[in-house]
A and B are shown apart, each in its own frame.
Chain A
């Protein structure tokens, strides 16, 4: 009997936390430039005794010190040379610390408007955001923008830390004023837990230890709030969502779908539905290296064997039959645009939701958020760091839950077809009711949706490399077919032919240089696309 059919078993207790262990808290910082985010994180690390002596030596020996007294603790997270030289945070730093009560992952994000996308990156996985406000400056547009983005991305605990209280004489009045200023914003954000704390990151007041210099503040210090905060949502309690990452087939007897539960839980015998398509089956085995399980829950990584042979591949999703996920080709989504090159309607792109990558087009820009006034505006484009609501038409169904209901399945990233850059982050709101005026597909639109032009590849001389070539092209999401109809290239297909035909092939493969052949095909199909649509931006 092979290893794949003979199963040892293991209990769920092998994976679960002992009763009183609080789950890890992921937190991020937010706020305007120079409000003291990095200094605050440095202070938290320092006062919880997380900082190692040699790292502290580095800080005290550094040529840079922007603190008005003592050590410049922001240097503990501002680790890039450019950051130290310019005295600002550019990219997210991830730091780890723990107290007797729980463990933390901190994302220290930049306050500078230019780097808003890095702030969004940090917020996308966090449960709690500490939004810093410089007591001297009050609630700025950037504070509002960051609080809003954090909330959009699903952060449900917002801690407003009114910082630099040492520079305003620890004034209660100023603290209360800033608290008032935030009311308009907070009235727009539902379902949030909000805290306000007066702090001095530089001196450590109300960070780990309660300050004696602000006796009027009767709340807990920051660390207490962090230690007791609840994670945003209990993903295991949501409906089952299992995006398939890869199919494991070591021998003909075993076919398992490997993935990480994005949400929910499942037991042996549970009925699941495979999306897209909707085929149903039951869970026959839950396989892990440590042994077979009877049940599993999010976010465990497991391999599932189903009772029936089903045609399921990477990018498909197994969901609870009792509550299936949405499946739609046209959706409305809020998108944070992260590219220097502005977004216009009509743009073609790839949409990546975890392991699922589909070709898509931004069909309309419905509106843009004015984050200073927190109102929506009509817009024809989105520039770097702007947030808008778009209608997106995908070439294949998107599988999702509205982002507000499920953070693990409602998000996507927008990827450039040619440069492969990540251009934006999207949060799906709903299936779009507005089926757009489709009409006949024009050749341009077809090429645009495919993301490349067609080509005729003549394999009559070396037929043996066809499999490798086809696989390599599919891997980079090119539309490739084997058929003896070279004229199909006009529809944007890459046609592999074996026989002899009239006309001139775009690429003739005549040796074993597979890489060369792929390069030639990509050059042929990419350049033509660029030519046809004037998308001449950076390859």
Chain B
């Protein structure tokens, strides 16, 4: 019988990610899945369910809540995690919030450092996690293209890009000493296009903000900021109603929407083909300076 033993592209990516997730669960005492509520996180959680089926997820999900996220995201988070029976933990840098940290007074770079980077490092320390699984992809940004699947972090949570452990074949060395940890990136080899095609193939629920509809926004430079209770309108700014959607999710002042008519994952995939600009472009924080993502990552950002 002639039989083609070739996996389709998405199934090959899926098999690889499942392998990585199983390695993580087996090699570490206390792993956690960093759940950012975005589409990559949705895919990651879906893959984790597949990896351990018919068993339950062997690790909790951790959300670093900056308190500046879109309310739709929090609603989605609570519903989705409950539906799949996952254990959700939430961490906020309350100290910084109490001290008045906000993007308007501190600027986005500093705010992001306190409410995301610091919060992440602190949250991981508080939970004593020795591995943190994230949805980062190598196609997202130039310094990520250099990162290992199992990426070592020293006791202070720092990444040393010039001295990473060689990572050969699909053998992942997750051995760490006390206080050190590994960031695990099961989606390393996925592209944005793969993620959407997989969401469509598997019917994975994602936050409705990803789909286009008429929304009231502030047009700020190139960026459209959907109107939310916690968004500040500056003098002279107007709001208008625009058909738009989010390409990446983050905090309200930092991640903008794009003009789009794509209301389904199918039409998003079509739209992607025509895109000539990257998804992170609408994120204010990545552009603060040349190589800024690398600097953030060295401090512990995901």
Q: Which residues of A contact B (CB under 8 A)?
A: 3-4, 15-19, 21, 23-24, 52-55, 58, 62-63, 76-77, 79-82, 84, 90-96, 103, 105, 117-118, 120-121, 124-125, 234, 236-237, 245-246, 248-250, 254, 256, 258-260, 265, 287-290, 297-301, 303, 314, 338, 350, 352-355, 407-408, 411-413, 415, 419-422, 425, 472, 475-476, 515, 518-519, 522, 539
Contacts and interface: CB of A to CB of B under 8 A. Distances in A.
Given A53-B277, A54-B278, A420-B173, A79 B142 contact: yes
A411 B22 contact: no
B161 A91 contact: yes
Given A79-B142, A90-B162, A250-B54, A354 B5 contact: no
Contacts of A121: 166-168
Contact of B19 (A63, A118, A245): A245
B109 to A, nearest CB: 17
A279 to B, nearest CB: 21
Residue among B26, B29, B139, B168 having the largest count of chain A Cβ atoms under 10 Å: B168
A265 B5 contact: yes
Interface in B252-293: 275-278, 281, 290-291
A410 B26 CA distance: 22
Contacts of A352: 171, 173
Contact of A287 (B53, B128, B145, B169): B53
A125 B169 contact: yes
A4 B290 CA distance: 52
B23 A248 contact: no
Nearest to A357: B175
B40 interface: no
A93 B139 CA distance: 10
B121 interface: no
Contact of A94 (B138, B168, B291): B138
A93 B173 contact: no
A288 B52 CA distance: 9
B94 interface: no
A289 B53 contact: yes
Contacts of A290: 50
Nearest to A7: B54
16 contacts: A17-B7, A21-B9, A80-B142, A80-B162, A81-B291, A81-B294, A91-B146, A103-B9, A118-B166, A300-B15, A301-B51, A314-B26, A411-B169, A420-B173, A421-B165, A425-B168
A422 B167 contact: yes
Interface in B17-38: 18-19, 22-23, 25-26, 29
Contacts of A298: 5
A499 B290 CA distance: 63
B178 interface: yes
Given A17-B7, A52-B277, A96-B138, A260 B15 contact: yes
A103 B278 CA distance: 19
B8 interface: yes
Q: Chain A contact residues: over half helix, strand or loop, or mixed?
A: mixed
B164 interface: yes
Interface in B177-205: 177-178, 188-189, 191
A116 B177 CA distance: 27
B216 to A, nearest CB: 26
B38 to A, nearest CB: 19
A259 B16 CA distance: 10
B164 to A, nearest CB: 6
A52 B145 contact: no
Q: Chain B contact residues: over half helix, strand or loop, or mixed?
A: loop
A476 B178 CA distance: 10
B4 interface: yes
Nearest to A106: B145
B14 interface: yes
B232 interface: no
Interface residues of B, number: 62
Given A15-B8, A24-B12, A94-B189, A52 B168 contact: no
Given A245-B26, A422-B166, A17 B4 contact: yes
B54 A92 contact: no
Contacts of A539: 177
B90 interface: no
A17 B167 CA distance: 28
Contacts of A299: 7, 12, 15-16
Interface of B: 4-9, 11-12, 14-16, 18-19, 22-23, 25-26, 29, 49-56, 128, 138-139, 141-146, 161-162, 164-171, 173, 175-178, 188-189, 191, 275-278, 281, 290-291, 294-295
Given A90-B162, A425-B168, A472-B29, A234 B5 contact: yes
Contacts of A53: 276-277
A82 B52 CA distance: 40
A419 B175 CA distance: 9
Contacts of A95: 138-139, 145
B11 A124 contact: no
Given A91-B161, A121-B167, A260 B19 contact: yes
Contacts of B169: 124-125, 354, 407-408, 411
Contacts of B278: 52, 54-55
Contacts of A422: 165-168, 173
Contacts of A55: 142, 278
B171 A52 contact: no
Top-4 shortest CB links A-B: A79-B142, A236-B5, A420-B175, A301-B18
Contact of B178 (A15, A91, A411, A519): A519
Contacts of B170: 125, 260, 354
A239 B13 CA distance: 23
Residue among B5, B164, B177 having the largest count of chain A Cβ atoms under 10 Å: B5
A288 B53 contact: yes
A95 to B, nearest CB: 6
Nearest to B46: A289
A120 B168 CA distance: 8
A389 to B, nearest CB: 18
B198 to A, nearest CB: 13
Contacts of B143: 79-80
A527 to B, nearest CB: 13
A82 B143 CA distance: 11
Contacts of B19: 245, 259-260, 301
B22 A96 contact: no
A92 B146 contact: yes
A96 B139 contact: yes
Given A52-B276, A62-B290, A299-B12, 20 more contacts: A16-B11, A17-B9, A19-B4, A52-B275, A55-B142, A80-B143, A81-B294, A91-B164, A95-B145, A103-B9, A125-B169, A250-B56, A265-B5, A288-B50, A303-B53, A354-B171, A408-B169, A411-B168, A413-B171, A422-B165
A298 B173 CA distance: 22
Contacts of A259: 19, 22
B145 A94 contact: yes
A92 B138 CA distance: 11
A411 B171 contact: yes
B26 A522 contact: no
Nearest to B143: A79
A21 B167 contact: no
Given A250-B54, A420-B173, A301 B8 contact: no
